[in-house]
Structures are given as structure tokens and as C-alpha cells.
């Protein structure tokens, strides 16, 4: 069996776009002696997964220190793509598989489990995230208006792009669902004069944003709440709502309730922006070749992606009218590579922070997982296996004379001029 695995891998190595040296258990190796990328394996199980193209299992072996690599992260990702036996978004399963996924989604997304899952990811370490995010700690897809734009400027451009799409005005009651470290919440308050409320399930983020609000003297019209979107009161309503990088955590089974809640929170005629990752797979399901399983285990437990057509359908079913949809897929690829490059440049600092705060074993595992996660996700966006859609929608107010055009039934002018002016 070991000889067959070695033969299969040797044949595949010869076809790779990047020369690779493969160190086998027992001291043997295949491939060029001084290849720019070197992969080392402590056991034959992980090698068998590599031969089968089960990239997620190979990534797990690296996190658990049963495999190592030496070389550029971009060379590693180029090699990974070449080793995949099939597209990770190829159709799989029938009605029974979909039924099981739905049942699992229901079980994974209770109030308690969602809080635990969000904290598993976002409460790793604020200091760790600060090493590779921009100064505002905007942890979502940036918006590169030109090729030379650095990440921090592109993140500010994204924040402003969202505010422009939402037509934010002074005095608007604005809700930010999943406010993160407060980038959009504070940008909207400071630049557009809105009365802003943000919510998060991350204890670290909540404390960080509260400190920023107090330091900036914004306590009178900006607030951050540690709560689930399902717990928000609906009595007053909001003029504008944004949800950025959050609905991936909602769960496919809860998407109807999520958009229904947003409709009830939004005043008639108001605007909502849903900015989130969507799947390249037409039917619900995680990335294949073990990639989705790896993300679920080490990065985003409970995360679920839908194709954009599912998103639009569920919005419409809950009474929200889509008025503009924009795909920012390559923008997210570039954002993730910027994060990956920043982390790779400061690995020793990152390791020191994580080990000090979380202990040596857990800290090292998290660092290894994030190295693969950031670069791996950059590739998935480049390849089109996942996308990033900004969907702007309204809650029609039923008034034929409201808005600039008869029948608009909302603040939206039904042209894009105002966004880019």
C-alpha cells in the first residue's frame, strides 16, 4: 500500500506547476532536492489523503503537527489547487443529504450555540487579529477602487461604499448587525451623523467597541449591545440596517427567520444592506475535498453558505425587495491575500501572542490553522468557489407617491448615480 501511495504521488508531482519535494515517513523523499516547496509527513495516513486529494484532511494533519511545509504560502496554494481531484463545489448528495444538512443546521443554531460558535472564532485574541488586520480592524471584504490602493484605504472605501448605498443621513436610526470591532458603526456615526446601534456576540469585540465609543465621546448616539439579532426589540424600528460578514453564521435553516426579523426591524421604506459570503454551489452544502470540514472544525464552527439565488429568494419571501446586487468576489481574494501576507510577515509575533494568551499547544494550533485558512480562502475566492455579494433591499411602504419615482415605495431612487457620485 505504501509503495502504491508513493508511486501515485510521484506521478502527480511531475505534473505540478511548482516543483515540490515530498519527505516520506522513514527518511525517503521524492521530487527535486532543492524544490521551492517542501512537504514533510510523519505518517502514511496523511500521505494517503494527499494522494486522494482530500486537502482538508491534509490541512488537519498540518494543524495537528503530523505534517509540515517549508516555502511560500502562494506556492503551497498553487500546489493544492493542482492536487484537487474535482471541483470542491461539484454537485453532491440528493434529498436525503439535504434533509440531514437541514436537521444539522437547526441543531447548530440555537441562541446558546451561536454565541459559543462566534466566540470560538472572534474571541481568539484581539492582539492576534490586530497584527494582520487594518488599523480599524475591519474583518470583512475590502473595496479596492484602484489597483494601487492599500488595504487600510480599501477598507475605508468599503465602509463608505456601504454608507452611500444605504443613503445614510444625519439623524437616521442605523443598526449594524454583527458590528465586529466597530469599523462601520463608528464610520457611519462620525461621517454621516447617524444614531447608531451595533450588536455582537463576541465579548472581546463588545468590550473593545464600548471603550472606543467612550473614548470618542459618542455615548449619546452610538451604542454596542452584546446580544443575538433574534433578541432585538422591534418597537421603534430602524431607518437603515447593515449586516456585514454576519449572515454566514445564521445557518441555512434560520435564513427565513433572519430576513423576517430584519424586515420587522426595518421601517417601511427603509433600506437594508446584506454583505456576506455566498457559495459557488447551487445547492446548499459545504466545500468538498474535506475543505468545508476543516473550516468547520478549526475556524468557523456552524458556518453555512448559500448560493446568491437562495439569498434573494429568501429575502423576497420575507417581504424585502432586492434593488441592487453587487459581486465583490475578487475584492475578497485580494483582501485575504493582504491578511495572509501580513500574518506571514509577523509569524514570530503572532506565535508569541497566542502562546502567551492561550498556551503553547492551543496557540500553535490556532496559528497553523489561520495560516492555511487565510491563504486557502483567498484561493477559493480567486477560483470562484465562493463569492461575496452585497445585496441592497427595501421594505416597500405601499405608498405609490413616495420616493423620486412613482411606485418606488422606498427611499431608493432606482438609479446607481448616487452611489458613485
> Are both 327 and 356 inside the same structural domain?
yes
Asked if residue 88 is part of any domain, the answer here is no
Within-domain flag for 78: yes
Residue 184 pLDDT: 98
Question: Could you tell me how many helices (H) and strands (E) the chain has, helices first?
Answer: 17, 11
Check whether residue 403 and residue 256 sit in a common domain: yes
For residues 287 and 323, state if they share a domain: yes
168 with 23, same domain? no
| Per-residue model confidence (pLDDT) at position 6 | 66
Predicted confidence pLDDT, tens digits, the chain (421 residues)? 576 666 676 767 666 788 888 888 877 888 788 889 898 888 888 878 877 778 888 888 989 999 999 999 999 888 888 877 777 766 555 544 554 454 554 555 566 655 555 565 566 789 999 999 999 999 999 999 998 899 999 999 999 999 999 999 999 999 999 999 999 999 999 999 999 999 999 999 999 999 999 999 999 899 999 999 999 998 889 999 999 999 888 888 889 999 999 999 999 999 999 999 999 888 766 676 677 788 888 887 777 889 999 999 999 999 999 999 999 999 999 999 999 999 999 999 999 999 999 899 999 999 999 999 999 999 999 999 999 999 999 999 999 887 778 999 998 999 998 888 7
- 276 forms beta bridges with 389
**Could you tell me if 68 and 185 lie in one domain?**
no
One domain, residues 308 and 414 = yes
Phi and psi dihedrals of 67, rounded to 5? -150, 155
Q: Give the C-alpha separation, 50 to 65, whole Å.
A: 15
Which CATH number does the domain housing residue 26 bear?
3.30.1050.10
Q: Measured between alpha carbons, how far is 216 from 224 in angstroms, rounded to an integer?
A: 14
Residue ending a domain, choose from 83, 115, 149: 83
Same domain as 294, residue 269: yes
Residue 90 belongs to a domain: no
**Structural domain range at position 245:** 99-420
Q: Are residues 22 and 121 in the same domain?
A: no
- DSSP at 36: S
- Are 198 and 344 found together in one domain? yes
DSSP tag of 133? S
Which H/E stretch holds residue 186? helix 183-192
pLDDT score for 99? 47
What are 351's three cell numbers?
506565535
Closest CA to 279 of 343, 242, 329, 231: 329
Please indicate, yes or no, whether residues 151 and 264 belong to a single structural domain of this protein. Answer: yes
Report which of 63, 75, 64, 18 is spatially closest to residue 340, judged by C-alpha positions: 75
How big is the chain, counted in residues?
421
Which of 53, 83, 113 corresponds to the end of one domain?
83
Contact 255, 229 (CB under 8 A): no
Domain assignment present for 300: yes
Q: Is residue 79 part of a domain?
A: yes
**Is position 410 within any domain?**
yes
pLDDT at 5: 66
Beta strands in 328-419 (DSSP E): 386-394
Residue 323 CA to residue 404 CA, distance in Å, equals 15
47 and 111 assigned to the same domain = no
What CATH number is associated with residue 151?
3.40.50.150
Q: Which three cell numbers stand for residue 386?
A: 465562493
| Within a domain: 91 | no
141 annotated active-site: no
Query: Is 89 part of a structural domain of the chain?
Result: no
- Torsion, Cα 248 130 115 260, to 10 degrees, reads -40
Domain boundary among 35, 54, 83: 83
Let me know whether 178 and 106 are in one domain: yes
For the chain, the domain total comes to 2
| Residue 26 per-residue DSSP state | T
Amino acid at each position: 500500500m505504501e509503495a502504491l501511495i508513493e508511486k501515485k504521488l510521484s506521478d502527480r508531482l511531475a505534473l505540478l506547476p511548482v516543483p515540490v519535494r515530498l519527505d516520506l515517513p522513514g527518511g525517503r523523499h521524492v521530487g527535486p532536492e532543492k524544490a521551492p516547496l517542501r512537504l514533510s509527513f510523519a505518517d502514511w495516513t496523511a500521505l494517503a489523503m494527499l494522494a486522494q486529494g482530500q486537502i482538508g484532511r491534509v490541512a488537519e494533519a498540518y494543524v495537528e503537527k503530523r505534517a509540515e511545509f517549508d516555502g511560500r504560502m502562494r506556492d503551497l496554494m498553487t500546489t493544492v489547487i493542482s492536487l484537487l481531484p474535482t471541483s470542491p463545489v461539484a454537485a453532491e448528495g440528493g434529498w436525503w443529504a439535504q434533509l440531514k444538512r437541514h436537521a444539522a443546521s437547526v441543531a447548530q443554531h440555537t441562541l446558546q450555540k451561536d454565541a459559543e460558535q462566534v466566540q470560538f472564532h472572534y474571541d481568539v485574541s484581539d492582539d492576534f487579529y490586530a497584527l494582520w488586520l487594518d488599523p480599524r480592524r475591519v474583518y470583512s471584504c475590502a473595496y479596492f477602487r484602484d489597483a494601487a490602493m492599500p488595504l487600510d484605504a480599501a477598507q475605508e472605501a468599503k465602509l463608505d461604499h456601504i454608507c452611500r448605498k444605504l443613503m445614510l443621513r444625519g439623524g437616521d436610526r442605523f443598526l449594524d448587525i454583527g458590528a465586529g470591532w466597530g469599523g462601520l458603526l463608528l464610520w457611519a456615526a462620525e461621517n454621516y451623523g447617524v444614531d447608531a446601534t451595533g450588536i455582537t456576540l463576541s465579548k472581546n469585540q463588545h468590550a473593545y467597541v464600548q471603550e472606543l465609543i467612550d473614548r470618542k465621546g459618542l455615548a449619546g448616539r452610538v451604542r454596542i449591545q452584546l446580544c443575538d439579532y433574534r433578541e432585538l426589540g422591534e418597537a421603534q424600528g430602524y431607518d437603515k440596517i447593515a449586516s456585514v460578514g454576519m449572515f454566514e453564521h445564521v445557518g441555512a435553516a434560520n435564513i427565513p427567520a433572519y430576513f423576517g426579523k430584519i424586515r420587522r426591524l426595518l421601517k417601511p421604506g427603509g433600506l437594508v444592506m446584506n454583505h456576506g459570503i455566498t457559495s459557488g454551489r447551487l445547492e446548499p452544502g459545504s466545500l468538498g475535498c474535506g475543505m468545508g470540514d476543516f473550516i468547520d472544525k478549526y475556524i468557523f464552527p456552524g458556518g453555512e453558505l448559500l448560493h446568491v439565488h437562495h439569498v434573494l429568494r429568501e429575502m423576497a419571501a420575507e417581504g424585502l425587495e432586492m434593488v441592487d446586487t453587487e459581486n465583490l468576489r475578487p475584492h475578497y481574494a485580494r483582501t485575504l491575500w493582504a491578511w495572509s501576507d501580513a500574518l506571514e510577515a509577523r509569524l514570530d509575533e503572532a506565535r508569541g501572542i497566542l502562546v502567551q494568551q492561550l498556551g503553547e499547544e492551543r496557540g500553535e494550533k490556532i496559528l497553523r490553522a489561520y495560516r492555511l485558512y487565510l491563504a486557502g480562502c483567498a484561493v477559493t475566492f480567486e477560483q470562484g468557489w465562493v463569492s461575496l455579494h452585497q445585496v441592497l433591499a427595501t421594505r416597500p411602504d405601499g405608498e405609490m407617491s413616495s420616493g423620486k419615482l412613482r411606485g418606488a415605495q422606498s427611499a431608493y431612487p432606482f438609479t446607481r448615480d448616487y452611489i458613485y457620485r
